[in-house]
Amino acid sequence: MSKKKLTVYELLKLKGKRQIHEVFVNNVEEAIAAEEAGMDIIVTAYGMPWHGIYNTLDDVKKIREAAPNTHLMSAAPERSFSNSSEAVKIAYLLMTLGCDSFYTNNSSHIIKELKREKVPVVSHVGLVPGNNTWIGGFRAIGKTAEEAIDVVRHAMELDDAGAIGVEVEVIPPKVAEVVTSKVKMLTISMGSGSTCDGQYLFSQDVLGYTTGHMPRHSRVYRNFKEEFNKLHKERVNAYKEYISDVENKKFNDPKITVDIEDREFDKFLNKLEKI
């Protein structure tokens, strides 16, 4: 029996009922595995190498096709649109590829216009990586009363604008719990505890192949880095063996070649002399 894809309506009905699970996938293989595992939401994006996202729109399409029964949220490159009409256009493009919801950390004004055009939007509060220069870099937000109030106000503003969900990144769980209670939309935690409506991690963290800095809020479940190293060594060894077989003329093996009967070969040699 195939998994049923959750609609926006069904996702919103889950608020307060159970925790929602969400993961960023980088390729078809991860998308297939996430769907088979029963993930509620998979996320992908394209064209943001500064965030380590090298996928293209075609990759987004392939991921959609690979996991047709899982809610797919996607995003356009940051600052690739500057007004609501451009935002709607690019969101519609992703939805024509089969995406179910659209991520943007833009203003509530743009989110209102997207909602008006029936685009399900997920936004961001707390540590918003693309806007980190405004908060002094990558750091926790909401550890002071003033910052905590600002996070709540920001979330309520996005909720009023019509967002269906918001990523809540690196704020204290106590503050995240208040945010969750103040909004109708879903709150999805990244390093903000289980007081939100759900959790969001990146596959490279879950599978243990992140290179460079490992975010504090990430959690590793498998060591794929080690497995990838093993695979690389085995690839090299396989190529070396192939090179050796080529140089030592080991491709006359009857298992991989065809034969000609001696009688037919003699006929061939006789005909060859007449050429």
Dist. CA 169–CA 183, nearest whole Å: 16
pLDDT, tens digit (0-9, with 9 covering 90-100), for 128-149: 988 888 889 889 999 999 999 9
Mean per-residue pLDDT over the chain, rounded:
94
Give yes or no: residues 209 and 148 share one domain: yes
Q: Where residue 1 falls among pLDDT bands split at 50, 70, 90?
A: very low
Q: Flag whether 72 is in a domain.
A: yes
Residues 251 and 208 in one domain: no
* Domain identity same for 139 and 251: no
- SS3 breakdown of the chain: % helix, strand, coil, rounded to 5? 45, 15, 40
Q: What is the pLDDT of residues 176-194, one digit of tens each?
A: 999 999 999 999 999 999 9
- Choosing from 200, 222, 244, the residue where a domain stops is 222
Q: Say yes or no: 15 and 34 in one domain.
A: yes
Instruction: Kindly list the distances between the CA atom of residue 108 and the CA atoms of 103, 117, 169, 170, 198, in Å, as whole numbers in the listed order.
Output: 13, 14, 18, 21, 22
DSSP E strands, the chain: 20-24, 41-45, 71-75, 101-103, 121-126, 165-169, 186-190, 198-202
Of 30, 157, 169, 273, which residue is the catalytic one? Answer: 169
Do 102 and 175 reside in the same domain of the chain? yes
Q: Residue 134: inside a domain, yes or no? A: yes
* CATH number of the domain that residue 158 is part of: 3.20.20.60
Task: Specify if 24 maps to a domain.
Answer: yes
Q: Tell me, what amino acid is at 208?
A: G
Instruction: Verify that 155 and 190 share a domain, yes or no.
Output: yes
**15, 64: one domain:** yes
- Residues 235 and 203 placed together within one structural domain of the fold: no
Q: Does 105 have pLDDT greater than 80?
A: yes
Q: Are 134 and 264 in a shared domain?
A: no
Q: Are 128 and 173 in a shared domain?
A: yes
Judge whether 27 and 180 are in contact, CB under 8 Å. Answer: no
Question: Would residue 163 count as lying in a domain?
Answer: yes
**267 and 180: one domain?**
no
CB 186 within 8 A of CB 145: no
Other Cβ atoms less than 10 A from the Cβ of 131: the count is 11
- On whether residue 2 sits in a domain, the answer given is no
Contacts of 81 (CB under 8 A, 6+ apart): 87, 89, 90, 106
Residue 125 bridge partners (DSSP)? 168
- The one-character DSSP state at 133 is G
In terms of residue numbers, what domain contains 242? 228-273
Cα 197 from Cα 259, distance rounded (Å) = 67
Kindly state the tokens that stand for 270: 């006789």
**The pLDDT value given to residue 2:** 62
169 is catalytic: yes
Maximum distance among all Cα pairs of the chain, rounded to whole angstroms:
99
Inside any domain, residue 256: yes
Q: How do residues 54-102 score in pLDDT, each as one tens digit?
A: 999 999 999 999 999 999 999 999 888 989 999 999 999 999 999 999 9
pLDDT in tens, 19-61: 999 999 999 999 999 999 999 999 999 999 988 899 999 999 9
Residue 1 lies inside a defined structural domain of this protein: no
Domain count along the chain: 2
- Kindly state whether residues 102 and 234 are assigned to the same domain: no
Q: How far apart are CA 195 and CA 215, in angstroms?
A: 20
Residue 270 reports pLDDT greater than 90: yes
- Domain for residue 3, yes or no? no
